Amino acid sequence: MSGFLNALPGAVSQGLIWGIMAIGVYITYKILDIADLTVDGSLCTGGAVFVMLFTNGINLWAAMLAALLAGMLAGLVTGLLHTVCGIPAILSGILTQLALYSINMAIMGMKATVAININQEGVLDKLLVSLRFVQGSKGGFPFYRHPIFVVGIFTAGLIAVLYWFFGRELGAALRATGSNPNMARAQGINTDFCKVLGLMLSNGLVALCGALLCQYSSANEIKVGQGAIVIGLAAVIIGEVLLGKVFRNFALKLLSVSIGAILYYVVLQAVLQMGLDANYLKLLSAIVVAVFLTIPNWKGKYFGKSSRKEAAENA
Amino acid sequence: MLEIKNIWKTFNANTVNEKVALKGVSLTLNDGEFVTVIGGNGAGKSTLMNAVAGVYPVDRGSITINGADVTDLPEHKRAPYIGRVFQDPMMGTAASMQIEENLALAARRGQTRGLKAGITKMEREEYRELLKILDLGLEERMTSKVGLLSGGQRQALTLLMATLRKPKLLLLDEHTAALDPKTAAKVLDTTERIVQKDKLTTLMITHNMKDAIVHGDRLIMMYDGRVAIDVSGQEKKKLTVETLLEMFNKVSGSDEADDKLLLS
C-alpha cells in the first residue's frame, strides 16, 4: 500500500501529461466524430522534434513550438488524405502513422532512443517537467516545479484556450461539422476544411504531449506512441462515463478528459503494484477501453428494450 | 432568380443500375415565385433539388442563381444563396448543439467564419423573438440541445434557420413528409407565412397533390426526369386533383400512372 502511495504522485503526473494528448483525441473522436489513428505516430514525432532541437541547444519553448507544428503537419497529411484523396478517415490515420515511423526514426538520426542528459549541469533546470521533480521537497525541488503543479497549470491554460476557440464562429463550425455535416454544408461551412483543421489541432496537442513526455522521462523512444490512441480513448471514455452526467459545460468536459487520463494511470499503477507483469499492460488497456466502450451501448440497448416492452404491455 | 438550363444527371453510369434521373430539365423561376413540385417516385424531383443545392455536380447543363453561375460550385459555396429544409428532420439541424447555437450557425450562412464570437447577446434576444413566431415554446428552451426536440419542432426550427438570412432561393424537399398530419399542417402553415412575409423565391417538393395546388403560385409536375406539366396564374388557381391527374395521364400516356402517383 505504501508503495502505491509513493508511486501516486508519479502516476498523477504521467496521467496529467497524457491528458493533454487525450484532449487532442477528444477533439477528433468526440467533436469531429473521427477515430484518428495518426496519434500513435504524431506523439513520437513531437518528442523526436523536441529532443533533437533541445539537445542541440535550441530554446525549450522554441523546441516545444516546433514539436506542436510538426504534429499539426502530421494532422494535415491525414486530413488531406481523407478529404482531398477521399480515403476513409481511419485508414488515412493508419497510413500517416505508418509513414511517421520512418520519419520519426529519420528525425532521431536513425536511433530508436535519444536521451536528454539531465546530469549535465543546467539541463535539468531548463526542463519544464521531469521525473526528478516528482520527488518534490525531498529531492530539493520547490513545489512549483512539481509536474502536477506545472502540467496542471499548463492543462488549465490549454482548456481555457480551447474553450475560447470552440465558442468562436470557426470553432462552432468545427462542432457543426462533427455533429451533422449535411447541415454544416447547407449553412455554407466547408466541412473538409474543418476536418483538416480539427485533425491539425488535435495532432498538434498530441505532439505537444510527446514533447512533455520526452522531458518527463528525459528521453524519446520510437515506441513511445505505440497504443497511444487507446490510452487517449480510455481517458475520454472514462471521463465521460464517470463525469458526463455532472460535467455539462464544454470546459468541464475537457477537464473530465484530463481526469480520465489521471484515473487511468492511477489504476494502472495500482495494478502494477499488485505484481502484474508490465508486459500485460497493453492487454489491460485494450480490455479497459473495450469494456468502457461497451457499457453505453449495452445500457442504451437494454434500456431501449425494457421501455419497448413496457410500451407493449401498456398498449 | 433561378435559371436551370438543360441539366442532365445519370447515376451509376455504365452499370446495370444506371439511372438517368434528369433528362434535360430546364426551369426558370422569377423573383418571388413560389413553385410547388410534384411527381411520382423516381421522377427526379429530389435529384433536381439536390442538383440546385450542389449536393452533386450535374453531367450537363447550367444552373444560375441571381445571375451567378453556380454550376461548378460545391455545396457550401452555394449556401450563401440557398436556404434548405430537408425531408429528414434529422438532416437540417446539429443535434448535439443548442437551439441558439444552431440559429447562430444559420445566421452566418455564407459568411467567412473567423474568431468572432460564435453567438452574441444581441443575437440571443433576436432569436428569442423569432422563435416566438413558431409558437412552439422553443424561446424558453434556447440552450436545450436540438436532439431533444421532436421531428416537427426540428423541422420548424430548420425552416426558421433556412430563412433567418433571407435566401435568394428557398428549397423545401418534402419537408413535411416525415411528420404527422397535424404537425405537417402546422409546419406548412408556418412555411406559407414566412414565404409570404419575405416574398421568397421558393421551390417546394411535396407528395401531397392538394398541398401542391393550394400553396404557391405555380405548379410543376415531373415525370421520368423531365418537367411534364407547368401551370401558373389563373390556370393554377382553377386546378383540382382530378384535372391534375387527367393532365398527367395525357402526358404519361397511361392510366396506371395515377395509381402510382397517388400511392407514392
ipTM of the complex: 0.91
Whether pLDDT at B264 is above 70: no
Cβ–Cβ below 8 Å for B97 and A179: yes
State whether B118 and A167 contact (CB < 8 Å).
yes
Integer Cα distance of B3 and B52 in angstroms: 10
What residues make up the domain containing B233?
2-94+150-263
DSSP string, B79-109: TTTEEEE-SSTTTSS-TTSBHHHHHHHHHTT
* Residue B57 forms part of a structural domain: yes
Identify the CA nearest to A76 among candidates A64, A87, A92, A98.
A92
For residue B67, is pLDDT > 70?
Answer: yes
* Interchain CB distance below 8 Å, B94 and A186: no
* Structural domain spans, chain A: 2-275
Q: Kindly list the strands in the beta sheet with B34-38, ordered across the sheet, starting from the edge strand earlier in the chain.
A: B82-85, B169-173, B202-205, B34-38, B218-223, B226-232
List the beta bridge partners of residue B173.
B205
* Angstrom distance (rounded) from CA B93 to CA B154: 7
* B105 domain residue, yes or no: no
Distance, first Cα to last Cα, chain A: 57
Residue A69 pairs with which residues in a beta bridge?
none
Q: How far apart are CA A26 and CA A247, in angstroms?
A: 15
| Residues of chain A neighbouring B100 (CB-CB closer than 8 A) | none
Q: What is the DSSP secondary structure assignment for residue B223, as one 8-state letter?
A: E
Q: Give pLDDT tens digits for B84-105.
A: 999 999 999 999 999 999 999 9
Largest CA distance in chain A: 79
* Site of grid cell 450562412: B109
All residues at 6 or more sequence positions from B92 whose CB lies less than 8 Å from its CB, including other chains: A182, A183, A186, B84, B85, B86, B154, B155, B157, B158, B161, B162
Give me the count of residues in chain A.
Answer: 315
Q: Which residue in A183, A185, A189, A194 has the most chain B C-beta atoms within 10 A of its own C-beta, making it the best mutation to test that interface?
A: A183
CA atoms within 13 A on the CB side of A199: 29
pLDDT at B234 over 50: yes
Q: Is B217 exposed, middle or buried (0-12, 13-18, 19+ CB in 10 A)?
A: middle
The Cα A206–Cα A67 span in angstroms is: 9
- Return the pLDDT at B84: 96
Q: Does A186 touch chain B (CB under 8 A)?
A: yes
Asked if A187 and B92 come within 8 Å (Cβ–Cβ), the reply is no
What is the full per-residue pLDDT of chain A (315 aa) written as tens digits?
A: 678 888 899 999 999 999 999 999 999 999 999 999 999 999 999 999 999 999 999 999 999 999 999 999 999 999 999 999 999 999 999 999 999 999 999 999 999 999 999 999 889 999 999 999 988 777 788 889 999 999 999 999 999 999 999 999 999 999 999 999 999 999 999 999 999 999 999 999 999 999 999 999 999 999 999 999 999 999 999 999 889 889 989 999 999 999 999 999 999 899 888 988 988 888 888 888 888 888 878 887 776 544 444 444 443
Q: What is the CATH number of the domain that holds B157?
A: 3.40.50.300
- Count CB-CB contacts under 10 A for residue A234: 29
> Rounded to an integer, what distance in angstroms lies between the CA atom of residue A271 and that of residue A278?
9
Judged by CB atoms within 8 Å, which residues 125-184 of A form the interface with B?
165, 167-173, 175-176, 178-180, 182-184
Q: Which residues contact A160 (CB under 8 A, 6 or more apart)?
A: A251
Cβ atoms of residues B120 and B171 within 8 Å: no
Distance from CA of A244 to the nearest CA of B (A): 14
CA–CA gap between residue B163 and residue B170 (Å, rounded):
8
Fold (topology level) of A2-275: ABC transporter involved in vitamin B12 uptake, BtuC (1.10.3470)
The helix or strand, by DSSP H or E, that contains position A27, with its residue range, turns out to be none
Judge whether B126 lies within some domain: no
Give yes or no for residue B73 having a pLDDT over 70.
yes
Cβ neighbours of B115 in A, within 8 Å:
165, 168-170
Residue from B46, B105, B158, B171 to probe the interface with A (highest A Cβ count within 10 Å): B105
Chain centre to alpha carbon of residue B42: 17
* Partners of residue B38 on adjacent β-strands: B221
Segment (H or E) for B171: strand B169-173
| Distance in angstroms (rounded) separating the CA atoms of residues B67 and B79 | 15
The band of B147, judged by pLDDT with boundaries at 50, 70 and 90, is very high
B261 pLDDT tier (thresholds 50, 70, 90): low
Task: Give the whole-angstrom CA distance, residue A56 versus residue A116.
Answer: 10
* pLDDT, tens digit (0-9, with 9 covering 90-100), for B126-141: 999 999 988 899 999 9
Chain A residues touching B94 at Cβ < 8 A: 175-176, 179-180, 183-184
Mean pLDDT of chain B: 92
Q: Is residue B128, in this structure, part of any structural domain at all?
A: no
How far apart CA B69 and CA B72 sit, in angstroms, is 8
* First-to-final CA distance of chain B: 31
Q: Which amino acid is present at B256?
A: E
Closest residue by Cα to residue A289 from A204, A232, A246:
A232
Render pLDDT for B166-207 as a digit per residue (tens, 0 to 9): 999 999 999 999 999 998 999 999 999 999 999 999 999 998
DSSP code of residue B160: H
Q: How many domains does chain B have?
A: 1
Q: Are strands B202-205 and B169-173 parallel, antiparallel or unpaired?
A: parallel
Look at A190 and B94 and tell me if their CB atoms are within 8 Å.
no
Nine cell digits for residue B216: 404557391
* Whole-number pLDDT of residue A313: 42
Chain A residue numbers with beta carbons less than 8 Å from the beta carbon of B106 are 187
Q: Which of B101, B112, B113 should be substituted to probe chain A, the one whose Cβ sees the most A Cβ atoms within 10 Å?
A: B113
Q: Provide the 10 A C-beta neighbour count for residue B220.
A: 23
